[in-house]
Amino acid sequence: MRQVLLRLAAALPTLCGVVVVTFLLTRVLPGDTATYFAGPTASAEAIEQIRRELGLDLPLPEQFWRYVVALTKGDLGMSLTTGQPVRAEIATRLPASAELTLCALVLAIAIAMPLGVLAAVRQGSLIDHACRVLTTAGVSLPVFFTGLLLVYVFYFVLGWMPAPLGRLDAFATAPPQVSGFYLIDTLLAGDTGTFRAAAAQIVLPATTLALFALAPIARITRASMLAVLGSEFIRTARASGLSGPTVVITYALRNALLPVVTVLGMVFSFLLGANVLVEKVFAWPGIGSYAVEALIASDFAPVQGFVLTMAVLYVLLNLGIDLLNRAIDPRARHGA
């Protein structure tokens, strides 16, 4: 417990840095917020009045102080474009992003880990090269391009996938909120029909995102497997007559998992930030698309809220991975 608190305390400067940088960055965004929201026909007085209402006439340090005070109360401000409190909007949109990202991650693991293991076992073979080419190709695709292509082929031409309308078909109803993950909530509600609708909607965006995550997972699995396969105890196991698959699955893979878990954490936090473009293509109501729209409109509060949320998630995720590593590997406890 003390360890956890210490780690959290160590992350505080990082979070402070994020808060300050985001604040400054959003203030130098061009475009005059007051002018924008006063509407096209506003008089100079009307613009001034809005500037005052938004507190934009105050000196920067005071604006910052107000922002920090509000933050400590958990108030992330109001979005001017959607007219809603940022905290509430992030709370409703975060599960959408997290669900998409997790699905993509699971999909990527399901494909990339076997590939990585295979590549390691048959090092230097055709499979090894093919695996490398395939995963590298995945990471080389601009996600917005892949997304559009998948929509075109699987929805428009073939009609195998439902219309990219976001999380649910227009005529389906969202399940009662428990976890915020539709795939879980629909099952909890015992509503398999909506579950299937939600699952169908998530396939294409998750695939798009997963393609991007194949390479790092496959690479680290392969590297870590290679290291383990070359180690003493595997040789011993093989020497004592254990069959190939047993050695690979039971002994090698289990021992190779540690670095993989670490990378998975990094990949997850990267994907959560990188799915901005995927959300835009698939009309996915996540926080990424929310932040992008806000940024384009010079709407400070959602951008600040988004960045802060992501930073906190990043810190927590790293902490989680650390703890997990400690749990898996006794040696790590003696590390730092």
Partner 1 sequence: MKRRSFLKTAAGAAALATPSVRRAEAQGAPTRNETLLLVQEYGPNSLDMQGIGSAQPVNGVSLNCYDTLIRFKRKEFAEGITVFDRDNYEPGLAESWQVASDGMSATFKLREAKFHSGRPVRAADVKWSMDRAVTIGGFATTQMAAGSLEKPEQFVALDDRTFRIDYLRRDKLTIPNLCVTIPFVIDSETAKANAGGDPLAKDYLKNNVAGSGAFKVESWKPGTETIYIRNEEWASGERPKLRRIIARDIPSPSTRRALIERGDADISYGLPPKDFKDLADGGKVRVAAVPVPNAIWYVALNSALAPFKDVRLRQAVAWAIPYEKIMQAALFGRGTPMWGGPQKIDTVGWPVPSHYSYNLEKAKALVAAATGGAGFSTSLVFDAGSATIAEPMAVLVQEALGAIGIKVELNKVPGANFRGELNKKTAPMVINRFGGWLDYADYFFFWNYHGNNSIFNVASYQDKELDVLIDGARFTQDPAEYATKVKAMLERGMDQIPMVPICQPYHDVAMQKYIGGYHYAPPREPDFRYLTKGA
Partner 2 sequence: MSTTIAPAAPRDSIWAHARYMLAGNPVTLFALCLFLAYALMALLGPMIAPFDPMASDTARALQAPTWRHWFGTDQLGRDILSRVIVATRVDLGIALASVVLVFAAGGLAGLAAGFFGGWVDAVVGRIADTIMAFPLFVLAMGIVAALGNTIPNIVLATAIINFPLYARVARAETLTRRQAGFVDAARLSGHRDGALLLGQVLPNIMPIMVVQMSLTMGYAILNAAGLSFIGLGVRPPTAEWGIMVAEGASFIVSGEWWIALFPGATLMLAVFCFNLLGDGLRDIVDPRRRT
Tokens 């808060």 found at: 19
Q: Does 237 bind partner 1 (CB under 8 A)?
A: no
Minimum CB separation of residue 85 from partner 1 in Å reads: 11
Using alpha carbons, list the distances in angstroms from residue 153 to 17, 103, 165: 44, 21, 16
Q: Does 142 bind partner 1 (CB under 8 A)?
A: no
Specify the residue, 83 or 241, whose C-beta has the smaller distance to partner 1: 83
20 close to 28: Cβ distance less than 8 angstroms: no
Binding map of partner 1 across residues 171-190, x = CB under 8 A, - = no contact = xxx-xx------------xx
| Residue ranges binding partner 2 (CB under 8 A) | 13-15, 17-18, 21-22, 25-26, 28-30, 124, 129, 132-133, 136-137, 139-145, 148-149, 152, 156, 215, 219-220, 222-223, 226, 270, 272-274, 276-277, 280, 288, 291-292, 295-296, 298, 303, 306-307, 310-311, 314-315
208 close to 143: Cβ distance less than 8 angstroms: yes
108: amino acid identity, one letter:
A
115 binds, among partner 2, partner 1, none (CB under 5 to 8 A by kind): none
Of 7, 238, 259, 293, the one binding partner 1 (CB under 8 A) is: 293
Contacts of 61-66 spanning 24+ positions with Cβ under 8 A: 63/27, 64/20, 64/23
Using alpha carbons, list the distances in angstroms from residue 140 to 47, 105, 136, 215, 223: 46, 17, 6, 10, 20
Contacts of 176-182 spanning 24+ positions with Cβ under 8 A: 179/95, 180/92, 180/94, 180/95, 180/96, 180/98, 180/99, 181/95, 181/98, 181/99, 181/102, 182/99
38 binds, among partner 1, partner 2, none (CB under 5 to 8 A by kind): partner 1
Q: Which residues bind partner 1 (CB under 8 A)?
A: 29-33, 35-43, 46, 49-50, 80-84, 89, 92, 148, 151-152, 155-156, 159-160, 162-166, 169-173, 175-176, 189-194, 196-197, 280-283, 285, 289-290, 293, 296-299
